[in-house]
């Protein structure tokens, strides 16, 4: 199946009260692991690259080619959107040109008027190319690949103004943060989420910082309008811990255990398992 825009996928998720998992990739095998998980779960999926990960992988064109070609060679039949995560304005335009089917323009660090103006411009260019757009209001806390947000509760009036620009889905701070949640985290602000959902006309909402949010809070957020959930750190953690186990058990020293195809396999299998598990949590199993 060809890459698809995320607009329809997330509209259906919002109507059907489930969320699509958006998993960050870092390389070829990571991308395979996500695709394997989504295909096994028969679920729509978003594969996203941060600007930093795309640079690490050799550029946006490489990311696009890898995802597109793997869909063919792996015989993937579930809907897949390739999304830019936390993109600057120029990067969003570049990804539209290359063939990404979805982009996030993150202007949350800009003065609000400028964030709105640039969002409108990205929407016009993206929609002309059939590409879906995510924008952000109220920064998400923590650090995501060098992008640091102080974490705040979004202002529903600003969310409405952003939603009215014609974006396809909206990321808004509701007490969520990137990376691990601290011991003293007080949880998601459902009051804020409800207030945002009330003024955004059924627009799909995005929950960043999906790693480490307890299942009951995830489900409640979905019931209030969250239709895309971003997961990055947890994939990295399960990859690292499976790789650590392989080495600590001395498996790299047995026979050809040092072959990267063997050494890295447990880590990528762990990513696939986590992807399947989170898709189940988000209610999107069998929604392809």
| Nearest to ligand 13P of 173, 225 (CB atom) | 173
- Let me know the angle formed at the C-alpha of 205 by 208 and 77, rounded to the nearest 5 degrees: 85
| Nearest to ligand 13P of 131, 231 (CB atom) | 231
Whether 49 contacts 255, CB under 8 Å: no
Alpha helix positions (H), the chain: 6-16, 28-41, 51-57, 60-73, 89-98, 112-128, 156-163, 190-199, 215-223, 233-248, 260-263, 265-282
Q: Shortest gap between Cβ of 77 and ligand 13P (angstroms)?
A: 26
CA dist 125 and 128 (Å) reads 5
| Nearest to ligand 13P of 85, 159 (CB atom) | 85
Whether 175 contacts 226, CB under 8 Å: no
233 annotated as a binding-site residue = yes
| Nearest to ligand 13P of 36, 178 (CB atom) | 178
CA dist 152 and 247 (Å) reads 40
209 annotated as a binding-site residue = yes
232 annotated as a binding-site residue = yes
Q: Shortest gap between Cβ of 208 and ligand 13P (angstroms)?
A: 3
| Residue 65: active-site member | no
127 annotated as a binding-site residue = no
Catalytic residue among 69, 85, 155, 259: 85
Q: Shortest gap between Cβ of 212 and ligand 13P (angstroms)?
A: 7
Q: Would you call 174 helix, strand, or coil by DSSP?
A: strand
| Nearest to ligand 13P of 48, 246 (CB atom) | 48
137 annotated as a binding-site residue = no
Please report, as ranges, the residues that interact with ligand 13P according to CB under 6 A. Answer: 24, 85-86, 144, 178-179, 208-211, 230-234
Q: Shortest gap between Cβ of 279 and ligand 13P (angstroms)?
A: 14
163 annotated as a binding-site residue = no
Residue 187 main-chain phi, psi, to 5 deg: 95, 175
284 annotated as a binding-site residue = no
DSSP 182: P
Q: Shortest gap between Cβ of 239 and ligand 13P (angstroms)?
A: 13
Q: Which residues, 6+ apart, have CB-to-CB distance to 174 below 8 Å?
A: 153, 154, 188, 189, 190, 192, 193, 196, 207, 221
Residue 125 main-chain phi, psi, to 5 deg: -70, -40
CA dist 73 and 118 (Å) reads 37
For residue 84, count CB atoms less than 10 angstroms from its CB and return exposed for 0-12, middle for 13-18, buried for 19 or more. buried
Positions marked active-site: 85
Binding-site sequence positions for dihydroxyacetone phosphate: 179, 209-211, 230-233
Annotated binding-site members: 86, 106, 136, 178-179, 208-211, 230-233
Going by the annotation, the residues of the binding site for Zn(2+) are 86, 106, 136, 178, 208
């Amino acid at each position: 199946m060809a890459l698809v825009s995320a607009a329809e996928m997330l509209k259906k998720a919002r109507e059907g009260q489930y969320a699509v998992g958006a998993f960050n990739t870092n390389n070829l095998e990571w991308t395979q692991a996500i695709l394997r998980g989504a295909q096994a779960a028969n679920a729509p999926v978003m594969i996203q690259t941060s600007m930093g990960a795309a640079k690490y992988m050799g550029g946006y064109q490489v990311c696009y080619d890898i995802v597109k070609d793997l869909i063919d060679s792996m015989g993937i039949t579930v809907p897949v959107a390739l999304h830019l995560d936390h993109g600057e304005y120029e990067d969003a335009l570049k990804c539209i040109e290359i063939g990404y089917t979805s982009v996030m323009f993150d202007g949350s660090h800009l003065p609000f008027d400028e964030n709105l103006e640039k969002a409108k411009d990205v929407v016009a260019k993206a929609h002309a190319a059939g590409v879906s757009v995510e924008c952000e209001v109220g920064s998400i806390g923590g650090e995501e690949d060098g992008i640091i947000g102080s974490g705040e509760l979004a202002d529903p009036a600003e969310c409405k103004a952003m939603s009215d620009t014609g974006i396809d889905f909206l990321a808004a701070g509701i007490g969520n943060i990137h990376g691990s949640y601290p011991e003293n985290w007080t949880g998601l602000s459902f009051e804020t989420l409800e207030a945002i959902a009330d003024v955004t006309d059924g627009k799909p909402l995005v929950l960043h910082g999906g790693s480490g949010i307890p299942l009951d809070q995830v489900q409640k957020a979905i019931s209030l309008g969250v239709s895309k959930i971003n997961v990055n750190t947890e994939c990295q953690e399960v990859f690292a811990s499976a790789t650590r186990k392989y080495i600590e058990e001395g498996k790299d020293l047995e026979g050809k255990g040092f072959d990267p195809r063997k050494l890295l396999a447990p880590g990528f299998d762990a990513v696939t398992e986590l992807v399947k598990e989170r898709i189940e949590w988000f209610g999107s199993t069998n929604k392809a």
